[in-house]
Structures are given as C-alpha cells and as structure tokens.
A and B are shown apart, each in its own frame.
Chain A
Amino acid sequence: MVDQGPVFLTHLKKSIVWLAGSTLFGFAPLIFLYLINWMSEENLCAREIDYLLSGGFVVFVFVALTGTVVFDLLKARFRVSGWTATFAIYISPFCVLTYVFLKYMLKYVQYADQAEFGLGSTTARLSVGFMILYCLFVKTIYYLKQNAGNDNDIRYPS
C-alpha cells in the first residue's frame, strides 16, 4: 500500500493556507475598521465594530467560506464512500446552517439572549468551530480527490 501520510499532510497544509488567506480576506473590512479606530483619537469606529461583532459578522464570514467549499464539491460531483461520508460532506453544513437560522429565529422572537451571536457566545463558538473543521478537512478531501486525477471516483480498478 502506498504511504498516504505525506500526501495527506501536504493537502492539509494547503487547506490551512487557503483557510487563513480566505479568512483574512473576509475579515479585511473589520481589520480596516480596527485600523481606523486605532488611528483616530476618538475611537471613531468603536460603535460600528461592536455592532458588527454582536450582529454575527464572524459567523457570516465562516458561513460564506463553508459555502464555497460545499459548492466546490457539489460542482466537482465527487463520489464518497458511504452514507456517513455523504452526510459529513454534503448534508452537515446545511444542518449547521439550519442551527444558525433557528438560533437567529429564537433571538428575534425574544426567546434567546440578544447577545446570542456575539464573539463570545455559545452559538458563535459552536458554529464557527464546526465551520473551521469542515473547511479544513473537507477541503483536504477535495485536494486529495483532485490530486487523484479523476473527478468522479478515486477508486481505480486494481
């Protein structure tokens, strides 16, 4: 059997770089606001920054990143090993999106805490944590399958 360790690590590194770059790009407006805030004497953007963070900006950025990974895979039409993998790759991001939607709904029907999407809230931590794991591992799977040279199935006849 061929040693897959180095291949896996190479693609995991590529995924980490992809995630870091995309996250930096997604957070660029917020970083810019922080920069303005830092340069100004009267903390000009403090209110906007608080508004963005408590409104769920961090969750939105990671939802967008997860969306790019999901649709990359859907477009490539990769075949996966079984129902658990199908669930993990194609269905679980939609489940977590539903979780975010329902939490938002609870917030707006005044059932949940109004700071539910703030940086330190459970919802933000859980959903962002899942999305980071999803982006890293599923992007690694995407690279591995792409590296195999066959877009439909990586299992070649022996």
Chain B
Amino acid sequence: MTYGILLDTFYWVVLLLFLIGIVCEFRYLTRSKGAKNK
C-alpha cells in the first residue's frame, strides 16, 4: 500500500496549498477596490 499512502500524501499537500491559495485570493479580492459595492 506504499503507493496509496504516497498518493494520499500528495492529495493532502495539494489540498493544503489550495486552501492557502484560496485564502490569499480572497484577501486580495476583499482588499482591492475591484469587487466593490458601488
């Protein structure tokens, strides 16, 4: 099951980077004037 564990680890790393990226993007969006309520 070594390959399975390796793949699951890969998945968790991708998920972690995804969450960090999404948080960064939301911070960028909410701090910029672009997505504003006119």
Interface residues of A (CB under 8 A from B): 1-4, 6-8, 80-82, 84-89, 92, 95-96, 99, 102-103, 106, 111-112, 122, 126-127, 130, 133-134, 137-138, 141, 144-145, 147-148, 150, 153-156, 158
Contacts and interface: CB of A to CB of B under 8 A. Distances in A.
Given A80-B28, A112-B4, A156-B32, 9 more contacts: A7-B35, A81-B25, A85-B25, A85-B28, A99-B11, A106-B3, A133-B18, A154-B35, A155-B28
Interface of B: 1, 3-4, 7-8, 10-11, 14-15, 17-22, 24-37
Contacts of B37: 2-3, 6-7
Nearest to A146: B35
Given A81-B24, A84-B17, A126-B8, A145 B3 contact: no
B15 to A, nearest CB: 6
Contact of B34 (A87, A99, A137, A154): A154
A106 B4 contact: yes
Contacts of A87: 17-18, 21
A99 B14 CA distance: 10
Nearest to B27: A81
B20 to A, nearest CB: 5
A2 B33 contact: yes
Contact of B26 (A92, A111, A141): A141
